[in-house]
């Protein structure tokens, strides 16, 4: 599902070396490669098969033959489309061009390329490839994502850093800019209660949203950022313990809010 590249060089009037390279995944990665010396002929081959249901399938492939009679498959299809594996039209054309080159001693080199990426049967797999690629990028983003909040009591400063594939973003706030420390409780429809501890900071400008993480995201409400230290934890004692520690550190009592 990529590009087929054929390169042949005439080393001597009667000696030809050929290399066939395959790229995969819409040309993004290098696939198989066949390299042969003293090539005397290219052959187009077909093979007829029947499965257990009696359905007929056809395999088409290209082989290169060396001076010693060695025959190596240099191009074959990857999967069956409508009972056919391979590209008979392109394969026949490649064989004809290679054989013409071999028999024409005045031609020093040959280069052929077949771009199969945009064939309809290959495009059928494109959405799947895009989904896998997107999932891989998202997982990589999450795995390499880190956010750190540091409280410096001697400088009375809060530093908020976000490390991601996009780089490092840093914001500094004085303790005086911390608008609130909030312990929120939330009870769902099943009666289960969870607790969150959030630091409320001023949103300096409208572009601050770009710096907010996808994991434990901050909330932007009324020009404020609510940055979670703990999010939806069922252990109220653990959340209150951290709330007391942070509250003593920044000299600001925490407030309790209930969101039912």
| CA gap 96, 163 in Å, rounded | 56
Q: Which residue has the higher pLDDT, 59 or 139?
A: 59
- 53 shares its domain with 71: yes
- 176 shares its domain with 234: yes
The residue from 139, 174, 195 where one domain ends is 139
- 62 shares its domain with 79: yes
The per-residue pLDDT of the chain, averaged, comes to 82
Residue 17 has pLDDT above 90, yes or no: yes
| Each residue's pLDDT tens digit, 211-229 | 444 444 455 555 678 888 9
- 88 shares its domain with 182: no
The residue from 139, 157, 183 where one domain ends is 139
What residues have CB less than 8 Å from 178, skipping those under 6 apart? 158, 199, 200, 201, 250, 252
Greatest mean pLDDT among 45-54, 118-127, 204-213, 244-253 lies in 244-253
Q: Which residue has the higher pLDDT, 28 or 77?
A: 77
- 135 shares its domain with 159: no
Q: Which residue has the higher pLDDT, 71 or 38?
A: 38
Residue 71 has pLDDT above 50, yes or no: yes
| Length, in residues, of the chain | 260
Mean pLDDT of 122-151: 76
Count: domains in the chain: 2
**Structural domain for 178, as ranges:** 146-259
- 122 shares its domain with 74: yes
Mean pLDDT of 125-137: 75
* Both structure tokens of 253: 């009592």
- 133 shares its domain with 216: no
pLDDT of residue 98: 93
| CA gap 245, 196 in Å, rounded | 15
- 7 shares its domain with 134: yes
DSSP tag of 176 = G
- 129 shares its domain with 152: no
Q: Which residue has the higher pLDDT, 79 or 63?
A: 63
- 175 shares its domain with 247: yes
CA angle centred on 120, ends 22 and 85, rounded to 5°: 55
- 126 shares its domain with 174: no
Best CA proximity match to 199, nearest among 151, 146, 154, 234:
151
pLDDT of residue 121: 59
The residue from 108, 139, 170 where one domain ends is 139
- 198 shares its domain with 123: no
DSSP assignment string, 183-219: EEEEE-TTS-EEEEEEEEEE--SGGGGGGS-SSSPPE
């Amino acid at each position: 599902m990529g590009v087929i590249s054929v390169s042949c060089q005439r080393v001597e009037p009667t000696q030809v070396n050929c290399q066939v390279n395959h790229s995969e995944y819409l040309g993004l990665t290098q696939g198989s490669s066949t390299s042969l010396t003293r090539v005397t002929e290219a052959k187009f081959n077909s093979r007829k098969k029947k499965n257990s249901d009696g359905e007929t399938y056809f395999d088409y492939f290209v082989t290169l033959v060396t001076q010693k009679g060695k025959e190596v498959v240099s191009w074959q299809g990857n999967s069956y489309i409508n009972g056919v594996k391979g590209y008979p039209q392109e394969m026949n054309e490649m064989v004809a061009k290679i054989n013409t080159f071999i028999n024409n001693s005045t031609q020093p080199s040959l280069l052929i390329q077949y771009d199969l990426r945009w064939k309809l049967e290959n495009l059928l797999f494109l959405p799947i490839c895009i989904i896998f690629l997107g999932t891989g990028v998202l997982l990589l983003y999450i795995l390499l994502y880190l956010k750190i909040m540091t409280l410096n009591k001697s400088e009375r400063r809060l530093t908020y850093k976000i490390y991601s594939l996009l780089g490092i973003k840093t914001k500094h706030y004085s303790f005086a800019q911390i608008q609130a420390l909030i312990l929120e409780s939330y009870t769902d429809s099943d009666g289960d209660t969870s607790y969150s501890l959030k630091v409320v900071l001023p949103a300096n400008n409208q572009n601050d949203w770009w710096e907010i993480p996808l994991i434990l995201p901050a909330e932007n409400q009324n020009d404020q950022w609510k940055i979670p230290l703990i999010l939806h934890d069922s252990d109220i004692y653990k959340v209150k313990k951290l709330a007391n520690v942070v509250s003593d550190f920044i000299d600001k009592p925490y407030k309790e809010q209930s969101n039912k």
